[in-house]
Amino acid sequence: MADFYGHLPRGPAGIMRAAIWSLQGLRAAWLHESSFRLEVCLFVVLGPLGWFLGETGVERALLIGSCLLVMAMELMNSSMEAVIERYGAERHELAGRAKDMGSAAVFVLMMNVLLVWALILAPRYL
C-alpha cells in the first residue's frame, strides 16, 4: 500500500497511515490467530520478568527481544497462511511446504527464546 504514494517522503500523515495499518494487522492477528493470542499472553508474563531478571540493558534487550521476535515471526507466518488460503483450500504440496516452513520458523525462534533465557539466567541461578 505504501508504494501507492510514490517515492516521496511520507511525512507525518504517511507515518500515521502506516501506524494505522500496523494496528489493523495486530488487531486482525489478535482476532483470528489463537497462536498469536497465546504468544501475547506469554509476553505479558515474560516481558516484565525479563525486565526484572536482566541485570544490564543488553540482557534485558535479549530476554525481551527474543520474545518479540517470536510474535513478529508469528505475524509473518499468519500473513503467509492467509495468502495461501486466499487462493483456495485444496491441498497443494507447495502450499503445505510453505505453511510448514513458516511454522518451523516460529519454532526456531521459540528455541531461541529458551536458549537466550537459559544462557543468561542459568549461570546466575543454578
2 has pLDDT over 90: no
Q: Given 39, 59, 74, 85, which residue is catalytic? A: 74
Closest CA to 105 of 125, 75, 61, 65: 75
User: Is residue 39 part of an annotated ligand binding site?
Assistant: no
Query: What domains are defined for the chain?
Result: 34-121 (1.10.287.3610)
User: Is residue 29 part of an annotated ligand binding site?
Assistant: yes
pTM score: 0.87
- pLDDT for 82-120, tens place per residue? 999 888 878 899 999 999 999 999 999 999 999 999 999
Residues 11-38 have a mean pLDDT of 94
- pLDDT for 41-66, tens place per residue? 999 999 999 999 999 999 999 999 99
Cell of 22: 500496523
- Contacts within 8 Å (CB) and 24+ apart, 51-55: 53/120, 53/121, 54/120
Query: Does residue 74 carry a catalytic annotation?
Result: yes
Q: How confident is the model at residue 9 (pLDDT cuts 50, 70, 90)?
A: low
- How far is residue 45's CA from residue 59's CA, in Å, rounded to a whole number? 17
User: Residue 1: what pLDDT?
Assistant: 52
- Between 88 and 77, the more confident residue is 77
- How far is residue 103's CA from residue 107's CA, in Å, rounded to a whole number? 6
Least confidently predicted of 1-5, 11-15, 33-37, 48-52: 1-5
User: Is residue 90 part of an annotated ligand binding site?
Assistant: yes
C-beta separation of 92 from 73 below 8 A: no
